[in-house]
Amino acid sequence: MSEEKEAQSSSGTKNALELVRVDGVSFKYDAGPNVLEEISLTIQAGDFLALLGPNGSGKTTLVKLILGLLKPLAGNVFIKGRPVEEFEEWPKIGYVPQKATHVDPFFPASVREVVAMALFSRRGASLKKSKEEEKAIATALQSVGMEDFMGRPVSRLSGGQQQRVFIARAIVHSPELLILDEPTAGVDAVTQERFYEMLYQLNKQRAITILLVTHDIGVVTMHVNKVACVNQRLTYHGTHEDFCQSEAFKAMLAAGHLVSHRH
Amino acid sequence: MEAFFTYGFLQRALFAGIFVAVACSMLGLFLILRRDAMIGHGLAHVAFGGVAFGLFLNMMPLATALGVTVLASWAVIKLKEKAGLHGDSAIAVFSSVGMAIGILLATLAHNLNVDLLSFLFGDILAIEPIEVWLSIGLAAAVVASILINYHQLMFLTFDREAARAAGIRPQGLDFQLTVLTAITVVLGMKVVGILLVTALLVMPAAAGLQLASNFKQALWISAVVAFLSVTGGLAAAFAFDLPASAAIVLLAFSIFGALFLLRRRKRF
């Protein structure tokens, strides 16, 4: 890991603003077993946190609880110090869902329209975009290297390109926190590598805090500064350096829950 | 063409038909992309019960159908939420009940059959002046509601989870879309009839999806197809003495077919 990343890591842990606090959260779906039990963790401003865990471990559920899409059975979630149910600054949170690239091939949305959706999600009747709004769309697409695809139908892009467009949609508001749920599923290794590098640049250059749900150990060793491991309970939460020496890491590796692409 | 300037009944049919068809086409685009196209069909069956109820009580059938169908659309949403039913099951429950009530009232009243037939098959050439204004007013309200919530509806239709995470509350918009569908179905049944009203919701929008490369284009093409279907269908009906509803629907299908073939040619 570079010195720059280490410096960022230490500043992120020492004097950072707490963006997310998950406090003793438990959850289950209807009459099923507990999916999550007493999860507590924090995300500080500037963090690039990887959320790891085997399939069905509750990672996506935890993300949905943080976003207020599900209500915890016990415990609380706070975003920027406010209970999630009272939080209203949703444009400050960018989100790329797990199956974002499963685009309906008949949906006639252009790249520009997909990015504009998030920008205008709280706006009323006007269909005309202002110059500032056009610029915000162009800047977001530029950040992910998709500025030349503005007029293209999003359904005709490759999986990797679609993923970039969804990230542009998530960052068009200049969010403080970007949450990505397994964004590289189904994307080839080379594209994944470029993709993670792009996330690292967003974290470093635009100071966007990132929560990344992934199975990819390569990301953990190369790009993130914090790791949280979930398997119904929180099995690890700390820096990535300590994680690589931890029992949680060895257990996940032995069980084959982590994969490594070219990094 | 000259007939449209001469006959009042044709002008009324044209105005009401165009407004209703354009509203249907815009709404239909969202319904198709949400895979909810058959809600129009289900609510049309409910509207049949509403019309029969109005005729049975000797009230304005369009108004009673409107009330009953809007109420049913709300009930469909509640049934989906509370009974944990899938959307199509909840629609099937209410469409069957609506149809059953219609048949029961028609049988009890004996003399309703002729009036009911005009709603089943549509009778746009017999549209009353007050019905024209009602159709234009409600169709304009439907279009305005869609435009006001255009971005939110598109986001919710495209990626529901991300839209919710962006702070969009889906319940209100889902309810609005269902109620708007109920209103357009009732308006559309006067134009093409209960049995064919789904065609107004689905065909222009499906035609729009054949060529559009963005959402705004799809809305425009759908609206133009709806406009052409009504004007062309009415003209054909008047010129060749055909049933207007069938002419409108078959023309819409022809345009859809032509655009479908054009799309295939563009690809290969």
pLDDT in tens, B70-94: 999 888 888 877 776 666 788 888 8
Q: What is the DSSP string of A159-193?
A: HHHHHHHHHHHHHTT--SEEEEESTTTT--HHHHH
Q: What number of C-beta contacts closer than 8 Å exist between A and B?
A: 90
Which residue, A10, A52, A15, is CA-closest to A237? A52
Chain B contact set for A163 (CB, 8 A): none
Pairing of strands A209-213, A177-181: parallel
Looking at the domain A3-106+175-254, which fold is it?
Answer: Rossmann fold (3.40.50)
* Phi, psi of B35, rounded to the nearest 5 degrees: 55, 40
Neighbours of B107 (CB within 10 A): 11
In a domain, B268, yes or no: no
Helical H segments across B57-165, by residue range: 61-82, 87-109, 113-121, 129-148, 150-158, 160-165
Contacts of A34 (CB under 8 A, 6+ apart): A26, A27, A28, A73, A232
Q: Predicted confidence band at A14 (pLDDT cuts at 50, 70, 90)? A: very low
* Cα separation, B226 vs B23, whole angstroms: 9
Pairing of strands A34-44, A48-52: unpaired
Chain A: give the shortest CA distance to residue B111, in Å.
47
Q: Which of A205-209, A214-218, B76-80, B105-109 has the highest mean pLDDT?
A: A205-209
With contact defined as beta carbons under 8 Å apart, do B11 and B19 qualify? no
Pairing of strands A82-83, A34-44: unpaired
* Average model confidence (pLDDT) across chain A: 82
With contact defined as beta carbons under 8 Å apart, do B250 and B192 qualify? no
* Cα separation, B37 vs B198, whole angstroms: 8
Average pLDDT over every residue of B26-45:
90
Chain A contact set for B171 (CB, 8 A): none
Better pLDDT: B248 or B37:
B248
Better pLDDT: A215 or A71:
A71
Q: Predicted confidence band at A44 (pLDDT cuts at 50, 70, 90)? A: very high
Please indicate whether, in this complex, the C-beta atoms of A113 and B161 are within 8 angstroms of each other.
Answer: no
Give the DSSP H/E element, type plus range, for residue A211: strand A209-213
In a domain, B85, yes or no: yes
Chain B contact set for A96 (CB, 8 A): 162
Neighbours of B14 (CB within 10 A): 19
Judge whether A150 is closer than 8 Å to chain B, CB to CB.
Answer: no
Q: Give the ipTM.
A: 0.81
Dihedral sign for Cα atoms in the order A117, B212, A154, A140: negative
Judge whether A91 is closer than 8 Å to chain B, CB to CB.
Answer: yes
Q: In chain B, how many H helices and how many E strands?
A: 13, 0
With contact defined as beta carbons under 8 Å apart, do B234 and B247 qualify? yes
Average pLDDT over every residue of A53-77:
92
* B85-91 contacts, C-beta under 8 A, 24 or more apart: B87/B36, B87/B39, B88/B38, B91/B38, B91/B39, B91/B41, B91/B42, B91/B43
* Cα separation, B10 vs B6, whole angstroms: 8
Structure tokens at B6: 């001469």
Average pLDDT over every residue of A90-117:
85
Please compute Rg for chain B using Cα positions: 18
If one counts the domains in chain B, the total is 1
Average pLDDT over every residue of B215-230:
94
All structural domains of chain A with their residue ranges: 3-106+175-254
Structure tokens at A98: 């797990």
Question: Over the stretch B87-125, which tens digit does the pLDDT of each residue have?
Answer: 678 888 888 998 899 888 888 877 666 677 888 887 888
- Domain limits for position B128: 2-261
Judge whether B84 is closer than 8 Å to chain A, CB to CB.
Answer: no
CATH of the domain at B209: 1.10.3470.10
The separation between CA A35 and the C-alpha centre of its own chain, rounded to angstroms, equals 20
Give the DSSP H/E element, type plus range, for residue A74: strand A74-79
Contacts of A43 (CB under 8 A, 6+ apart): A18, A19, A20, A49, A177, A209, A211, A226
Q: Predicted confidence band at A60 (pLDDT cuts at 50, 70, 90)? A: very high
Chain A contact set for B152 (CB, 8 A): 121-122
Contacts of B91 (CB under 8 A, 6+ apart): B38, B39, B41, B42, B43, B76
* Cα separation, A217 vs B17, whole angstroms: 61
The pLDDT of residue A78 is: 95
Q: What share of chain B is helix, strand, coil (3-state, %, to 5)?
A: 85, 0, 15
